[in-house]
Amino acid sequence: MRHIISLLMENEAGALSRVAGLFSARGYNIESLNVAPTEDPTLSRMTLVTIGSDEVIEQIKKQLNKLIEVVKIIDLTEGDHIERELMLVKVKAIGDGRDEIKRLTDIFRGSIIDVTDKSYTIELTGTSSKLDAFLQSIGQGIILETIRTGASGLGRGDRMLKL
């Protein structure tokens, strides 16, 4: 199953490579990973998306907790949570296609943030599967470039990852 794991860790050089190293050394999957400092600059928060059986996910969480720089972790997918990913996608936009792309972008509540005579750049946020769906709708043929941040998330309501 797909899991979104959030971690708070010491904002120190090398912490990221410990997490990345752990995943490659133990043969775990990483779908996506992002990290940035939090409101407390001594801490960074990482979001990891991984896929594995219950046993593997259990080990992943234990191994992450074991890293000295990891302060706390939460498996967002274990309870109510909000998931968001940001995507920028540049598409070929010429002739009639321009309207069609605009309409699709509106349906998905995205916005066009850069325009040239041949292309649009669209910004879209949502769950990862919503972004997948958008890419599918718009069709491989006209996509020039995409960049995605990977999923981030927070627990709903009182579910929090805090010290």
Partner 1 sequence: MTEELTGAEITIRCLQEEGVEYIFGYPGGAVLFIYDELFKQDKVKHILVRHEQAALHAADGYARSSHKVGVALVTSGPGVTNAVTGIATAYMDSIPLVIISGQVPTAAIGQDAFQEVDTVGITRPCVKHNFLVKDITELATTIKKAFFIASSGRPGPVLVDIPKDVTQQKAHFSYPDSIRMRSYNPVINGNTKQIKKAAELILSAKRPMFYSGGGVILDNAAGVLTELVELLDYPCTNTLMGLGGFPATDKHFVGMLGMHGTYEANMSMQYCDVLIAVGARFDDRVIGNPKHFYSEDRKIIHIDIDPSSISKRVKVDIPIVGGVSQVLKELIKLIKASKEKTDAIALKEWWKQINLWRERDCLKYDRSSRVIKPQMVIEKLYAITKGDAFITSDVGQHQMWAAQFYPFDKPRRWINSGGLGTMGFGLPSAMGVQFANPSSTVACITGEASIQMCIQELSTCKQYQLPLKIINLNNRYMGMVRQWQEFFHGNRYSESYMDALPDFVKLAESYGHVGMKIEKPSDIEGALKDALKLKKRLVFLDFITDQTENVFPMVPGGKGLSEMILV
Measured CA to CA, the distance from residue 89 to residue 133 in angstroms comes to 13
Answer yes or no whether residue 163 interacts with partner 1 by CB under 8 A: yes
Q: Pick from 11, 30, 31, 69: which binds partner 1 (CB under 8 A)? A: 69
Q: Pick from 46, 48, 49, 70: which binds partner 1 (CB under 8 A)? A: 70
Answer yes or no whether residue 25 interacts with partner 1 by CB under 8 A: yes
The partner residues of 146 in beta bridges, in order of sequence, read 89
Answer yes or no whether residue 71 interacts with partner 1 by CB under 8 A: yes
Q: Phi and psi dihedrals of 15, rounded to 5? A: -65, -40
Piece of 7-15, 32-40, 93-101, 142-150 that binds partner 1 (CB under 8 A): 7-15
What is the per-residue DSSP string for 46-109? EEEEEE--HHHHHHHHHHHHHSTTEEEEEEGGGSSEEEEEEEEEEEE--TTHHHHHHHHHHHTT
Give the interface with partner 1 as residue ranges (CB under 8 A): 9-10, 13-14, 17-18, 21, 25, 55, 58-59, 62-63, 65-66, 68-71, 163
